[in-house]
Amino acid sequence: MIGIFNDSFPPVMDGVAVAAQNYAYWLQKKVGHTCVVTPDCPGLTSEGHYPIYKYKSFPIPFRKPYRYGFPYVDRKFLSGMQQLPFELVHAHCPFSSGSIALRIARQQHIPMIATFHSKYRQDFERIIPNKYIVDYIIKNIINFYEQADEVWIPQAEVEETLREYGYKGRVEVVDNGSDMLLEDDGRDWQPEARRELGIGENENVFLFVGQHIWEKNIAFVLEALERLGDMPYRMYFIGTGYAAKEIAQLVIKKGLGNKVKLLGRITDRQLLKEYYAAADLFLFPSLYDNAPLVVREAAAMKTPAILLEDSTSAGIIRNGWNGFLTTRSTADYAMLIRELVCNRERIREAGANASKTIAKPWSGIIDEVIDRYKSIIDRKCVYCV
């Protein structure tokens, strides 16, 4: 059995949770014998595709809907884990789920892969004012990755973050995919999506999808939009997070209430797909993200993103060809938006190129993953699949 371990899983929606979900779905479909291990949370169900083994958890204060997992006090869960004959475990998180994956790998003498997805230092610096404590936590995180048989990153630029944290081992780049790919039939999906959502065909529409946390640079987006006061547009924010109420207040304070809508969390992937398709530009000036899945999802729907130069996320963007880059100035960001909506052909060309170069189907990604799994299992001389 292959185990996919992560501390978040739908209905908790973030990029890593969606990646873990697609790993589990496609592995189960292609090779079977796949399961998910994750903290319990309200609304978590297996939907019949693969088994989900969940352990006790509690809400994380100020980080709704995330959960603290406590697997080692859940005797029923631990007993069940001991009965499962794993061939390989894949941890997408270094915390509670990752510790269980590492324990199983040691007990059953099987390989463990660990994917490094997130900039954890920024998360801890926000809530812990003591630098030495944060350094200690980061040291433990790196210790976890050093015990893996292989460490994967979803984008080459992520290696820089790992090295900054102190990791000295080898890394392998394994891309994330997208479950929102369009059929390549030359069809323009935007008008249809706009009709479904009640959006005018010629309106300027911008989109942000992701956690509503200040680390995502959402205040930057709002400051840029404030500079476009004379321009008609609709801006949609999709997601939830600890800063959602403060963001809503900032929207009102800046007088953007008639143009900016906070839609909250959307778990319906088809509805989310329509918003991606309806948008002209995906606004994502985050310096926090490593390899954001949402940029790939937008690209899949032919919606190019505007990112910041020298951000880790920007590594997949060729400025002006499959997306757009600006400096870390809200004035420059707003100016580029204004220039692009006056030249929609540039947007269409970048969107078409983004869909061809950035968005890859999960089915193909998992074919590569399966080959890698087989190789590492063979090297470990445990089982053959």
Same domain, 295 and 242: yes
Same domain, 167 and 201: no
| CATH number assigned to the domain comprising residue 116 | 3.40.50.2000
Number of domains in the chain: 2
Q: How many CA atoms lie within 13 A of 9 on its CB side?
A: 34
The whole-angstrom separation of Cα 186 and Cα 331 is 35
Same domain, 157 and 231: no
Same domain, 28 and 54: yes
Q: Omega before 65 cis (within 30°)? A: yes
Q: Is residue 54 one of the residues assigned to a domain? A: yes
CA 66-268-155 angle, 5° bins? 60
pLDDT of residue 385: 44
Cα 166 to the center of its chain, rounded Å: 23
CB 129 within 8 A of CB 173: no
Q: Are strands 67-69 and 57-59 parallel, antiparallel or unpaired?
A: antiparallel
Q: Is residue 385 one of the residues assigned to a domain? A: no
CB 154 within 8 A of CB 23: no
The whole-angstrom separation of Cα 269 and Cα 132 is 41
Which residue type does 182 have?
A: L
Range with the lowest mean pLDDT among 57-61, 164-168, 272-276? Answer: 57-61
Provide the domain limits for residue 319.
190-357
Same domain, 172 and 257: no
Condensed to tens digits (0 to 9), the pLDDT of residues 26-43 reads 999 999 999 999 999 988
Same domain, 51 and 121: yes
Residue 383: pLDDT band with limits 50, 70, 90: very low
Q: Is residue 213 one of the residues assigned to a domain? A: yes
Q: Are strands 234-238 and 34-39 parallel, antiparallel or unpaired?
A: unpaired
Q: Is residue 185 one of the residues assigned to a domain? A: no
CB 63 within 8 A of CB 211: no
Same domain, 279 and 349: yes
Same domain, 230 and 291: yes
Q: What is the pTM of this model?
A: 0.90
Residue 48 has pLDDT above 70, yes or no: no
CB 368 within 8 A of CB 174: yes
The whole-angstrom separation of Cα 224 and Cα 329 is 9
Condensed to tens digits (0 to 9), the pLDDT of residues 253-293 reads 999 999 999 999 998 999 999 999 999 999 999 999 999 99
Condensed to tens digits (0 to 9), the pLDDT of residues 318-349 reads 999 999 999 999 999 999 999 999 999 999 99
Same domain, 163 and 266: no
